Amino acid sequence: MPSALDTNMRFKFSALALLLEVIIIVLFGLFVEYDSNNVSQNTIYPFFQDVHVMIFVGFGFLMTFLKKFGFSSVGINMLIAALGLQWGTLMQGFWHMKGGKISVDIKSMINADFSTATALISFGAVLGKTSPVQMLILTILEITIFACNEHLVTEILQATDVGASMTIHAFGAYFGLAVALVLYRPGLKNKHENEESTYHSDIFAMIGTLFLWLFWPSFNSAIAHDQDSRTKAIVNTYYSLAACTVVTFALSSLVDQRGKFSMVLIQNATLAGGVAVGTCADMSIYPFAAMCIGSIAGIISVLGFKFLTPFMASKLNIQDTCGVHNLHGLPGILGGIAGIIVTAVRKEIRATARFTPDMQAAALGSTIAIALAGGILTGGILKLPFLGQASDQNCFDDSVYWEVPEEEKLYEIHSNNHDEHSRFEATM
Amino acid sequence: MPSALDTNMRFKFSALALLLEVIIIVLFGLFVEYDSNNVSQNTIYPFFQDVHVMIFVGFGFLMTFLKKFGFSSVGINMLIAALGLQWGTLMQGFWHMKGGKISVDIKSMINADFSTATALISFGAVLGKTSPVQMLILTILEITIFACNEHLVTEILQATDVGASMTIHAFGAYFGLAVALVLYRPGLKNKHENEESTYHSDIFAMIGTLFLWLFWPSFNSAIAHDQDSRTKAIVNTYYSLAACTVVTFALSSLVDQRGKFSMVLIQNATLAGGVAVGTCADMSIYPFAAMCIGSIAGIISVLGFKFLTPFMASKLNIQDTCGVHNLHGLPGILGGIAGIIVTAVRKEIRATARFTPDMQAAALGSTIAIALAGGILTGGILKLPFLGQASDQNCFDDSVYWEVPEEEKLYEIHSNNHDEHSRFEATM
Amino acid sequence: MPSALDTNMRFKFSALALLLEVIIIVLFGLFVEYDSNNVSQNTIYPFFQDVHVMIFVGFGFLMTFLKKFGFSSVGINMLIAALGLQWGTLMQGFWHMKGGKISVDIKSMINADFSTATALISFGAVLGKTSPVQMLILTILEITIFACNEHLVTEILQATDVGASMTIHAFGAYFGLAVALVLYRPGLKNKHENEESTYHSDIFAMIGTLFLWLFWPSFNSAIAHDQDSRTKAIVNTYYSLAACTVVTFALSSLVDQRGKFSMVLIQNATLAGGVAVGTCADMSIYPFAAMCIGSIAGIISVLGFKFLTPFMASKLNIQDTCGVHNLHGLPGILGGIAGIIVTAVRKEIRATARFTPDMQAAALGSTIAIALAGGILTGGILKLPFLGQASDQNCFDDSVYWEVPEEEKLYEIHSNNHDEHSRFEATM
């Protein structure tokens, strides 16, 4: 007899996933064709591959820090991204159809990968507290809303955001935080025993951190309009991240009373410089300004993890598992503000003349507003009681949704002094 | 006094490895020179590097799932690939000599890496049950036979196989399965206690899965003839893999009675779409057809792991450790069949006019026949009793061939004996 | 009350790191601008990304083999590299200023990444025995001295060293060994209980090994002068590493009395072929000569690990944690000697006519002399007593400088039979 929190999603999950895949294939059959006009595709293929690694290895492994949620982190990340890149191709393509057809090429694949990043960022906010069925729904809804907002920002408001500080990072973070607010679990007010890392899970997470960090220059330059602005985006991101990393280490030691580094800060705040420099990465801001942006991003991110995330969890009922607010949210806003300032004060260095500070501000505001509204709407849908979410005590535990090696269970029994019989009953 | 199963291979292994290396260097000195005509090499260097990562990181880490065989998986994988790429350069080069010389360049390096994939796939079938000496011999023999079959398929039969669904994946799988049949170990009929994963070994394996998955578009397009067919191969592989992944997650949940995902399926079956789309990847099949091929590959692969592999082990005496039949064998055949169908029904979209369905069918048939014959021959040679293979109870255990950290041995004692005092004595 | 070995570096570390970052940003503001003349930058961007991965993932994970020092290995590696690439940009740039300005582009970023490799190699020599504050100082000093020596070798002596066998590998190794000599710890004469690996830490280290191994052809060819010499450098490095790997496996088995492979040798000596072929990688030495160089490098490196490192530790008071002498020092000298021989015997194949064996020898000699002198000077500075170095018994232990998950500490308590109460007090 299934309870209110039935986590056996054998038929629900497979039916929904197969249905979505069939719908997508039919839509691809109707609308999608190769872009035969574009012959210089292969020059950006290395950029695509870097972004591709960031999406699947970077985001996937960054979230493996939890001691018993590694399968879900890297596995459900892969599922979201594989579904999302197909859906993103369609959602972004519908805004740019020619003759009723969507053309795909390497550039559209980069954009499709980009679109999945929003859902993966939001996944970080609710990590450990949502079911795979819920994540399928979130992926479809978020990427749909993202594509609309992206169209608004780039086509209607004519704002610039080459590294997507606003349209991906801030959007994904505030969307995810809004979902987390709606799905608030009072039972997790006290720290869950599984919501922590182990020594090796923290090292796995560094695989994600490093591939994100290393390929961020590619992320911020992949869709640049020309060679010159692409090189500037690469250089600016490279130095922003380097400065951010040194500052993050300094702050991580400074905010700890014994002066010790914190893995959660090194894994996350070192990346804030890549987010924050995104909007104006392709402009002639010079490396020293990029380094200032990166340094500020590092400071904001460290302080966010240290003070804001606990505050939001305890006072605002927003439980942000991975601290996406500090890695994507605040640095994304910083990136948007930097874009406003740069377009305002240095007219001569705008990538093209059409970007104005008021449109940049409108883009930032609309992005956050749409993300919050979309997240609340999505959260409401995900709250429907038959979507397989786990009980509070089963949060952050792969064994709810995955076959987990016995050895691991035995270890767990041993270390927790549980009764073996009760556990085996629990899984039946 | 060495027993029949003497696993100390100090002199045998090092003598054989050094002898092979000396022979190879002499042959390189006699035959190999730089290709000075090819000036546009660097455009395919990123494709080479992607393939290179797949061979060493992808295959190597994919096999680290076993709890006590990670050193061998990633280490012997490296040995096979390093030896194989040298031997493959010679074997492939002998079929294309000009003026008695073999020219090497980036493209020949891609092909040399490709040739090692056959031996690495076969390694997956016999993983944990063969010695390093046996793997040296298998590598030399398999790559030699592979190069002959590849010549037959591409030069004599004039068949197309851009992503090598037939010539690498099906070939490597059926060669390995034939070797496994000859090396059948009745003593492993009941599941060996080491033939399982741990929580972290499964996450290590995901590193392999993801790098294979991400760079498969490069694998299928690396030796495409022109920019247009290369872009098509990239796009088709990208969408085939994405569809395959969603379908694999759906099926993985569906075939488990509690609806739980299985790591072995996510690690392997998600890749079947890359194998199956290989033969016709560079043709204008359109993304929706690629997604159909990927979806069917995912279904076949999941069902193969769930039902066929246990059947083959118990009834056909074929013990396929990594399930290469489901990842490379069946999807490879599917790819070959897809190639036959596409060349048959859509004459106008053939990459060049010369490919015909009957030659594609002949290529598929000859590949499997030669793989099976070569595998049986090789298995017979590997069965010679002085090649260092371990006893049944020492299978799947690194400590037979590697120095393993003491701590690990202690842990093992601990978990098996549960007496703390005996552990400390054991180390003294 | 702080003791002589006060490891709480809360204010010292953060003040020094922030000070350095502020100085660097000011210098960037004064001197650094984009290189607007260089339009063909993107063709070498994939080479930059490969080198970038080597520096952060390759070096970082290679050092994670120690059982309790993985956070520091991958984390402090990231810190050194992020600081070093900024400082290296300035130090290398000051030697090539035009109009009082330093121009940055993709090529200068490759060189900046290169410069950090020297500090990371030296980090390997003193791994586990130095504090983060010490490593900040070492990074600044070593890169400064490196830039001077590089200028001497390439501009004044006009020597060739495309893969930097001398200027990076030998330099970094002998600098680090000189530091290790000055920082000699008699208390570590007997093997420290933490100076060993675990099963999974050895597999983490293989991530580093493989990404270094795979991308070494990019390292040795990234700054080649033209397409032809770049392709030669790629081909030569590829085959040198392959031969080195087979020979390393053979020797690893041969030097063990039970014929077992050693992880430390597979992790390190397989890479020696990339170091040793560096100096003459872009010359027409033909693949067979590259393979000979790689084979000799593998032999030297294995014998170095087996016999020389223990001798140096016990007799010469040089404790080389990672054995950088065998991976970078000896193979670097071998590379320098190969460069002397090649420029001497085969004048027709010099990359350009200006390279002479006497200048190559002078480059090798001056590099080692400057490295040793610089290392002794730096070691003397690092010996100052307020720089946060740990006591002997706290060496090789992340928990001195990092917050480490509780679970890990519990495990430690358990395995060491310590008193739980005393530990919990210690962390308060």
Per-residue pLDDT of A272-326, as tens digits, reads 999 999 999 999 999 999 999 999 999 999 999 999 999 999 999 999 999 999 9
- On the question of pLDDT at A417 being above 80, the answer is no
User: Is some CB atom of chain A closer than 8 A to the CB atom of C20?
Assistant: yes
CA gap A268, A324 in Å, rounded: 9
Question: Who contacts A27 (Cβ-Cβ below 8 Å, separation ≥6)?
Answer: A90
Average pLDDT over residues B249-264: 95
Q: State CA A5 to chain mean position distance.
A: 27
Among B198, B270, B291, beta carbon nearest to A28: B291
* Closest residue by Cα to residue C290 from C302, C272, C276: C276
CA gap B40, B384 in Å, rounded: 47
Phi, psi dihedral angles at C103 (to 5 degrees)? -95, 135
Please answer whether residues A241 and C21 qualify as being in contact, where contact means their C-beta atoms are separated by less than 8 angstroms. no
Question: Who contacts B174 (Cβ-Cβ below 8 Å, separation ≥6)?
Answer: B329, B368, B371, B372, B375
Stretch 341-370 of chain A: residues touching chain C, C-beta under 8 Å: none
What is the least distance, in Å, from the CA of A232 to any CA of chain C?
A: 7
Tokens of B144: 């030699």
CA gap A24, A16 in Å, rounded: 12
Among A45, A71, A403, beta carbon nearest to B46: A45
Among C246, C250, C263, beta carbon nearest to B402: C263
Stretch 153-172 of chain B: residues touching chain A, C-beta under 8 Å: none
Q: Do A199 and C407 touch (CB under 8 A)?
A: yes
Categorize the per-residue pLDDT at C9 as very low, low, confident or very high, splitting at 50, 70 and 90: confident
**A284 by DSSP, 3-state: which?**
coil
Range ranked top by mean pLDDT from A115-129, A403-417, C220-234, C333-347: A115-129
- On the question of pLDDT at A26 being above 60, the answer is yes
- On the question of pLDDT at C237 being above 90, the answer is yes
Instruction: Report the share of chain A in percent with pLDDT over 90.
Output: 81
Which of C215, C260, C270, C285 is best to mutate for the B interface (most B CBs within 10 A)? C260
Average pLDDT over residues C328-336: 97
Instruction: Indicate the pTM of the whole model.
Output: 0.94
Q: What is the pLDDT of residue C422?
A: 36
Categorize the per-residue pLDDT at A353 as very low, low, confident or very high, splitting at 50, 70 and 90: low
Structure confidence by residue, pLDDT tens digits, B121-178? 999 999 999 999 999 999 999 999 999 999 999 999 999 999 999 999 999 999 999 9
Tokens of A198: 């182990």
Nearest residue in chain B measured CA to CA from C207: B57
Please answer whether residues C324 and C176 qualify as being in contact, where contact means their C-beta atoms are separated by less than 8 angstroms. yes
DSSP state of A352: S
User: Is some CB atom of chain B closer than 8 A to the CB atom of A86?
Assistant: yes
Which of A11, A44, A49, A214 is best to mutate for the B interface (most B CBs within 10 A)? A49
Among C235, C246, C253, beta carbon nearest to B104: C235
Which runs of E-coded beta strand occur in C270-336? Answer: none
Please answer whether residues B137 and B87 qualify as being in contact, where contact means their C-beta atoms are separated by less than 8 angstroms. no
Q: What is the pLDDT of residue C353?
A: 57
Which of C64, C226, C245, C407 is best to mutate for the B interface (most B CBs within 10 A)? C245
Categorize the per-residue pLDDT at B407 as very low, low, confident or very high, splitting at 50, 70 and 90: low
Which one has a higher pLDDT value, B31 or C38?
B31
Average pLDDT over residues B262-271: 97
- On the question of pLDDT at C425 being above 50, the answer is no
Q: Do C21 and A202 touch (CB under 8 A)?
A: no
**Partners of residue A18 in chain B, C-beta under 8 Å:** 247, 250
CA gap A217, A211 in Å, rounded: 11
Q: What is the pLDDT of residue B38?
A: 64
Which of B55, B78, B386 is best to mutate for the C interface (most C CBs within 10 A)? B78
Structure confidence by residue, pLDDT tens digits, A176-203? 999 999 999 999 988 888 999 999 999 9
Among C32, C42, C132, beta carbon nearest to A287: C32
What is the least distance, in Å, from the CA of B215 to any CA of chain C?
A: 14
User: Is some CB atom of chain C closer than 8 A to the CB atom of B14?
Assistant: yes
Structure confidence by residue, pLDDT tens digits, B71-97? 999 999 999 999 999 999 999 999 999
DSSP state of C99: T
CA gap A221, A209 in Å, rounded: 19
Tokens of C263: 């992880």
Categorize the per-residue pLDDT at C347 as very low, low, confident or very high, splitting at 50, 70 and 90: low
User: Is some CB atom of chain C closer than 8 A to the CB atom of A376?
Assistant: no
- On the question of pLDDT at A68 being above 90, the answer is yes
User: Is some CB atom of chain B closer than 8 A to the CB atom of A85?
Assistant: yes
- On the question of pLDDT at B31 being above 90, the answer is yes
* Residue matched to tokens 């070498």: C44
What is the least distance, in Å, from the CA of B154 to any CA of chain C?
A: 25
CA gap A225, C152 in Å, rounded: 40
Instruction: Report the share of chain C in percent with pLDDT over 90.
Output: 81
CA gap A391, A95 in Å, rounded: 40
Average pLDDT over residues C252-264: 94
- On the question of pLDDT at C2 being above 60, the answer is no
CA gap A2, A21 in Å, rounded: 27
Which one has a higher pLDDT value, B357 or C115?
C115
Tokens of A193: 């025993």
Q: What is the pLDDT of residue C218?
A: 97
* Closest residue by Cα to residue B355 from B165, B96, B154: B154
Q: Do B403 and C256 touch (CB under 8 A)?
A: yes
Q: What is the pLDDT of residue A359?
A: 93
Q: Do C214 and B82 touch (CB under 8 A)?
A: no
User: Is some CB atom of chain B closer than 8 A to the CB atom of C200?
Assistant: yes
Q: What is the CA radius of gyration of chain A?
A: 21
Q: What is the pLDDT of residue B9?
A: 83
CA gap A15, A18 in Å, rounded: 5
Which runs of E-coded beta strand occur in C52-105? Answer: 102-104
Q: What is the pLDDT of residue C38?
A: 64
User: Is some CB atom of chain B closer than 8 A to the CB atom of C306?
Assistant: no
Please answer whether residues C143 and C116 qualify as being in contact, where contact means their C-beta atoms are separated by less than 8 angstroms. yes
CA gap A48, A345 in Å, rounded: 33
User: Is some CB atom of chain B closer than 8 A to the CB atom of A203?
Assistant: no
Among A198, A253, A286, beta carbon nearest to C13: A253
Structure confidence by residue, pLDDT tens digits, C145-188? 999 999 999 999 999 999 999 999 999 999 999 999 999 999 99
Q: What is the pLDDT of residue C190?
A: 86
